[in-house]
Chain A
Amino acid sequence: MADQADLLPGTLDLLILKAVSLGALHGYGVLLRIEQITHGALLVEQGALYPALYRLEHQGLLDSEWGTSDNNRRAKYYALTAAGRRRLREETDSWNRLVGAMSLALKARPSES
């Protein structure tokens, strides 16, 4: 657990969108999916997931529906809307640009400047 990193501000929304884009999930499922795709490298406050989910739904990026979970219980499932898919693409692009630019900047050496 020692090598887990805190989330950068604003990245939780992107992670949720990504997680849900791989298939409809309930809230707990989103947490598990994030842990799985990040190989447990990121530390997510579990409770903080829900305000984020509610906000994304409010913004029309997610749709929700009550369904039955694997262990046969009533659970609320989230799925990506068309707008959510578009947003995911845009955010992914801008994230990649940011990361590219950042790593370029951090690799800079004195001779190249």
Chain B
Amino acid sequence: MLRRLRSFWGAATGRAAFERDMHDELRFHVESRTADLIRRGVPADAAARQARLEFGNAAVYRDRCRDARRLTLLDDLQADLRFSLRAMRKDAPLTLTIVGTLALGIGATTAMFTAVNAALLRPLPFPDPSQLVTVSSGAEIQAVPGPDFLEWQAGCRACAGLAAFTQWPSTIAGGAGPERVLVGRVTPSFFNTLGVQPALGRTFLPDEVPHSESGIVDASRRNTAVILGASLWRRRFLGDPGVVGRTIRVDSAPTLVVGVMPDGFAFPDRAEAWVPADIAVTRRNSTLQVVARLGHGVSLSQGLAAFRAVIARNESAQPDERRVHDVRLVPLQESLVGEVGTSLAIFLAAVGLVLLIACANVANLLLAQAAARPREMAIRTVLGAGRRRLIRQLLTESLLLAVAGGAGGIVLAAWILGIFRGTLPDTVPRLNAIAVDRLVVGFAAALSIGAGLLFGLVPALRTSRTDLSAALKAGGARRAAGVRGRRIRGALVVAEVSMAIVLLVGAGLLVKSFVTLRTRPLGFTPSGVVTANVTLPEIDYTTGAQTRAFLAESLARLKSRSDIEAAGIVTALPLSRHGTRVRGDAKIDGESQERKGAFPAKIAVGGDYFQAMRIPLLKGRLLTAHDTERSAAVVVVSESFAARVWPNQDPLGRRVRTGFGATAWATVVGVVADVKHDALQQNVSQAVYHPIAQIADDRRWFIADVTFVLRAASEPAAVAGLRDTLRTLDGDLAVYDVQPMRDVVAGNASDPRFYALLMAAFSTVAFVLAIAGLYGVVSYSARQRTHEIGVRVALGARRADIAALVLREGLRLVGLGTLLGLLGAYATTRALASFLFRVTVTDPATFVTVPILLGAVALIACYIPARRATAVDPLRALRYE
């Protein structure tokens, strides 16, 4: 094999030498023969002729010699390519249209595939990732309490490693000013379990793990050691390896840097630093997630059985009602991808439809072009080209087009991915891994070749089967294209229209859902409000009193500024993930037990929060600066909470108990409007608002993480004012995630927005391509029928009849495509169910609007050629033959 390749390669690269040698060799033969014949007495000129005669047709043998080295393949390919390029240049607009269409389809598909590949297909960057599983409580709250984790760690024999982790942001200072970064809180076993070691330094030692009795893992509790992520290390410490062993400050606490992780390690979530986790010793709270590495060869079900055995053993030894009684094991990759997997898969399918439409369009264009070429094909056949040769020629042309389209597609994909990186919702995991790599380029290449064969084969097979005599007769070109060609093109248009309908319906549903979501009443007025977050570290603000004093002082200073209309503080900003979000049961004075179903959000506010957010007061009064730790305990409740707890009664003067007030009971003094608190999708929003000044001393953590809410004419000025004010009070505080409230709201709808935008983009492309295809086919077919139309006009047909003739053909295709498309949409839109808000998958409005829209545009697309057809001059049309 190797030898043959070398022989082929030698002949192919030294082509001139090969030809020269071959000629010499054959001439030598003929001349030697001539000499022999002369020696035998044949006259010289007769000898030369006889030698040539005996040798036979030298040209044929030379060709067979080349064939023996497989060189003819190369010659044919070269000729095909040269010819294809010439044909492409000759019809540059068509070529550009085709290449552009393909680039669009391939580019979009490749970009989508890249995202899917990064998020779903590429294995996690850990060794032997298939053995990694998340272990969660089988109960509604999936987090695992500390004691259960410790029991599992002691007892699990099926595990090669078990680690617990959680994450929340901390303020890191050192190297540069204070900065908020996401910090993983992990057990020392974390890195070994994942199988990743630090690039510099070491992991945590057992004595670096803090322990607390409270069961509340506090952000700022005695950090002893920290491991930095590579990006943080470069950004803040300029990649200095000497940082290991230095002390920096994490939430103001002096913390020793013990290691730096390698590039690309950012687990959980997008953590940039890791500190040892504080494992609570009670089961009252649970915030931990658990990851296990199952032993070699241990299956998921064997692992599950092992965990259940540990639980059963501990339960029988020491029964505890709060113990986690059942667990769920999910492969880590699956748990990371979650619902995003479905959405990405749907979009990959959608973009695949776009590509198919693009291919159908290109096939149509090629068919139309080929229909004009039967004469050329016939002449080539007469000159000796076989059918296979013609097919190969035509396929070379379409593959060349596909490759050009694929190259354009890769460029386009890289551009789209740039946009993706900016707009993909945070919920897509491992966004940082999205890049055009070898696999992606391979995918694009396979796509181009597949597409080239797909749209090239039908025209190639059809064109090569040319009826010679018909094609060569003058005027035969038009008839030879015939009814069958028209039928194939019609079928392609029907397919295009139906696929476009499916995409348009999908986009319609998602857009409608998004609009429904965004136009829901929020309960507050986001415009003109800017928000900024501050966390008060425990090391500087040890007690609740200190924390409250700082917040009160900052509010008083902000109130005196003229550039701020209203300033407030809230512990849990609506529609964001900031602050401390608590939801739980509330006891009602006079009720013997907890009222079922009353699970309000428990929120503390300070300053003019309600005024700044413009949350309307419905009854009673708002909280004021006069509600202090020394005055009577009061709360304001939301409308839906009041309606739930005191239906048809006056809530004012009633008493509730949330567990956060300094005194047990607080009196309701006001009712405010409901606010979308957790998500735009939320329906009821029960809430109890405490004044910050009346929060219990031991609930310091509840008010340590707050958001400032400022209403001002100029947002930048308000933010500058806030920064100034806080800096004079505490120079080490980081003011982070400064965001207009509008953006906070928009961020909450970023997933639906992205889905709607993406689907709208895909379906728009599909729509344009399908209409272009329709227009092309109808106008082409009208042009082909010029002769027929001329005859009809000559026989007395009116213009309206002619227009109807052309229109009818186009609209029949559209009608059929629409019908098929609606059926297809009806069958497939249920895949979108989980992405729709208050829109059913068979939303009648969408299913009616889309065909009307498409029909209207299709009518225009058919009307233009129809109108042109009515202008046919019968005399010229008949002479056209």
Contacts and interface: CB of A to CB of B under 8 A. Distances in A.
18 contacts: A27-B28, A28-B32, A28-B33, A31-B29, A46-B55, A47-B58, A48-B61, A50-B25, A50-B26, A50-B61, A51-B61, A51-B65, A51-B67, A55-B68, A58-B69, A59-B4, A74-B24, A74-B28
Contacts of B57: 47
Contacts of A27: 25-26, 28-29
B877 interface: no
Interface in B41-56: 54-56
Contacts of B3: 60
A107 interface: no
B4 A47 contact: no
Contacts of B58: 47
Q: Which of B21, B25, B56 has the most C-beta atoms of chain A within 10 angstroms of its own C-beta?
A: B25
A109 interface: no
Given A47-B58, A69-B32, 9 more contacts: A28-B32, A46-B54, A49-B29, A50-B29, A54-B65, A58-B8, A58-B69, A58-B70, A74-B24
Nearest to B66: A54
B7 interface: yes
A71 B35 contact: yes
Contacts of A74: 24, 28
Contacts, number: 70
A44 to B, nearest CB: 10
A76 B25 contact: yes
A47 B21 contact: no
Interface residues of B, number: 27
A51 B251 CA distance: 85
Which residue of A28, A54, A74 has the most chain B CB atoms within 10 A of its CB atom? A54
Nearest to B70: A58
Given A51-B67, A54-B69, A28 B28 contact: yes
Interface residues of A, number: 24
A26 interface: yes
Contact of B4 (A31, A49, A51, A60): A60
B122 interface: no
Given A27-B28, A69-B28, A76-B25, A47 B55 contact: yes
Contacts of A75: 25, 28
Nearest to B18: A54
Interface in B1-51: 3-4, 7-8, 21-22, 24-26, 28-29, 32-33, 35
Given A59-B4, A73-B28, A50 B65 contact: yes
B4, B32, B57 — which one has the most chain A CB atoms within 10 A of its CB? B32
B852 to A, nearest CB: 67
Contacts of A59: 4
Contacts of B720: none
Contacts of A51: 61, 64-65, 67-68
Nearest to A49: B29
B317 interface: no
Interface in B348-405: none
Nearest to B27: A73
B439 interface: no
B4 to A, nearest CB: 6
B60 interface: yes
Given A58-B68, A73-B28, A47 B7 contact: no
B4 A58 contact: yes
B39 to A, nearest CB: 11
Given A48-B61, A51-B64, A60-B3, A76 B21 contact: yes
Nearest to A81: B3
A48 B65 CA distance: 9
Contacts of A73: 28
The residue among B22, B65, B67 with the most chain A CB atoms within 10 A of its own CB is B65
A48 B56 contact: yes
Contacts of B70: 58
Contacts of B8: 58
Contacts of A91: none
A45 interface: yes
A48 B26 CA distance: 11
Contact of A45 (B4, B35, B56, B68): B56
Contacts of A55: 68
Contacts of A31: 29
A28 B29 contact: yes
A28, A71, A73 — most chain B CB neighbours (10 Å): A28
A58 B69 CA distance: 6
Contacts of B4: 58-60
A80 B379 CA distance: 47
B56 A46 contact: yes
B61 A57 contact: no
B62 to A, nearest CB: 8
A72 to B, nearest CB: 12
A55 B29 CA distance: 18
A10 to B, nearest CB: 15
Contacts of A49: 29
Interface in A60-81: 60, 66, 69, 71, 73-76
A66 B24 CA distance: 11
Contacts of B28: 26-28, 69, 73-76
A45 B69 CA distance: 20
Contacts of B55: 46-47
Contacts of A47: 26, 55-58, 60-61
Nearest to B63: A51
A108 to B, nearest CB: 40
A27 B26 CA distance: 8
A99 to B, nearest CB: 28
Nearest to A30: B29
Interface string B459-502: 00000000000000000000000000000000000000000000
A76 B70 CA distance: 21
B47 to A, nearest CB: 14
A56 to B, nearest CB: 9
Contacts of A26: 25, 28
Contacts of A66: 21
A47 B58 CA distance: 7
A27 B58 CA distance: 14
Which 10 A/B pairs are nearest by Cβ-Cβ distance?
Answer: A51-B64, A47-B56, A54-B68, A47-B61, A55-B68, A28-B32, A60-B3, A54-B65, A28-B29, A46-B55
A46 B58 CA distance: 10
Contacts of B67: 51
A84 B64 CA distance: 21
B7 A57 contact: yes
Nearest to B51: A46
Nearest to B58: A47
Nearest to B21: A76
A47 B521 CA distance: 92
B64 to A, nearest CB: 4
Contacts of A76: 21, 24-25, 28
Nearest to A46: B55
Nearest to A52: B68
A58 B68 CA distance: 7
A58 B24 CA distance: 19
B138 to A, nearest CB: 68
A51 B64 CA distance: 5
